[in-house]
């Protein structure tokens, strides 16, 4: 019997109305969303269920909303009695993974990611930072190109190592534009600008990371019940203090998603259950290894139709 990993999506997977079906149909899921509202002191649920989309897309709303929706699906799915061998999440999704493994309570986590979203949005004035998805480029060649553009005074770095042929770059608007314009020189196909409010996972986020460190210093982190594979190292982490420091680093470091998935597969994981809105991570994993089993838990129907793993 192979091992199972629960994985949780990051920013970009959100949509107005997400988790409404489990909120209406499953008491444990309803409790998650209501707890998030209470912890934040405002109606996050009305933004999740009714939007408008522009409101949900604000980073400081997106982050707690996606976390609450993912954990609501997790609670609905728990009724199946399946326990994972590992948990992991993509960027913001790492917080859903930490709630799933018992490191953070949902109430504490929504407060942290609400603040994280604010800090990230405020770290760089609008229009000065950017991100782009580079398709078809070799990782090392792209990294070298980023280094050479950065040396010219326009910082740009690898931000998300998603899967073969898909790497997101992040940094100054000038740096991202310069690298985007030169991807064909290194054998890449093209660069697609991303709709984001800042240069996430780049060194321009250090101020946000420092502010998050202060916020996290007051948080209670428990030892995980299930190993959490960290974005920064692509390795499992179990010491609460190490988790705390990695969450700070994560804000300005690349998300090693490709490496994390490969590491879990190397440990015998053959089933990945993506829990939360959308199916972005499932698509990425298909490009990493076609032989693993992929399951999406993103609706009450998907839970009811699941016979067995």
Q: What is the Cα–Cα distance from 112 to 127, expressed in whole angstroms?
A: 25
Is 91 among the residues known to form the active site?
yes
DSSP 182: T
Q: Please state, in angstroms and rounded to a whole number, the distance separating the CA atoms of residues 72 and 49.
A: 13
Neighbour-count burial of 83, counting CB atoms closer than 10 A to its CB (0-12 exposed, 13-18 middle, 19+ buried): exposed
DSSP string, 45-107: HHHHHH--HHHHTSHHHHHHHHHHHHHHHHHHHHTT----SEEEESTTHHHHHHHHTTSS-HH
Catalytic residue among 91, 172, 260, 302: 91
- In terms of Cβ atoms closer than 10 Å to its own Cβ (0-12, 13-18, 19+), residue 294 is middle
* Bridge partners (DSSP) listed for residue 86: 5
Site of tokens 């309570």: 105
Does residue 90 have an active-site annotation? no
DSSP state of 164: T
Q: How far is CA 227 from CA 2, 7, 86, 231, 237, in A?
A: 16, 12, 5, 13, 6
Annotated active-site residue in 180, 201, 202, 258: 201
Residues identified as active-site = 91, 201
């Amino acid at each position: 019997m192979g091992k199972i990993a629960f994985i949780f999506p990051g920013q970009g997977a959100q949509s107005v109305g997400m988790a409404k079906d489990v909120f209406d149909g499953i008491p444990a899921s309803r409790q998650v969303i209501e707890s998030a509202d209470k912890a934040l002191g405002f109606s996050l649920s009305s933004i999740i269920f009714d939007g408008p989309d522009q409101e949900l897309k604000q980073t400081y709303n997106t982050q707690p909303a996606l976390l609450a929706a993912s954990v609501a699906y997790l609670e609905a799915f728990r009724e199946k009695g399946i326990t994972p061998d590992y948990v992991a999440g993509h960027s913001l999704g790492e917080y859903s993974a930490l709630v799933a493994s018992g490191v953070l309570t949902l109430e504490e986590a929504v407060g942290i990611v609400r603040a994280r979203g604010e800090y990230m949005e405020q770290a760089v004035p609008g229009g000065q930072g950017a991100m782009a998805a580079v398709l078809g480029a070799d990782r090392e060649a792209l990294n070298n190109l980023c280094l050479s553009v950065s040396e010219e005074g326009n910082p740009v770095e690898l931000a998300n190592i998603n899967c073969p042929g898909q790497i997101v770059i992040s940094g100054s608007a000038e740096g991202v534009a310069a690298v985007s314009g030169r991807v064909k020189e290194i054998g890449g196909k093209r660069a697609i600008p991303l709709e984001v409010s800042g240069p996430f996972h780049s060194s321009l986020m250090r101020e946000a990371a420092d502010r998050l460190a202060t916020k996290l210093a007051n948080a209670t982190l428990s030892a995980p019940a299930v190993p959490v594979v960290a974005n920064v190292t692509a390795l499992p982490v179990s010491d609460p203090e190490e988790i705390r420091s990695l969450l700070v680093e994560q804000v300005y470091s690349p998300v090693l998603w490709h490496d994390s998935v490969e590491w879990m597969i190397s440990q015998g994981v053959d089933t990945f259950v993506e829990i939360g809105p959308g199916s972005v991570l499932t698509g990425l994993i298909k490009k990493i290894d076609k032989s693993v089993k992929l399951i999406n838990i993103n609706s009450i129907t998907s839970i009811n139709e699941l016979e067995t793993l």
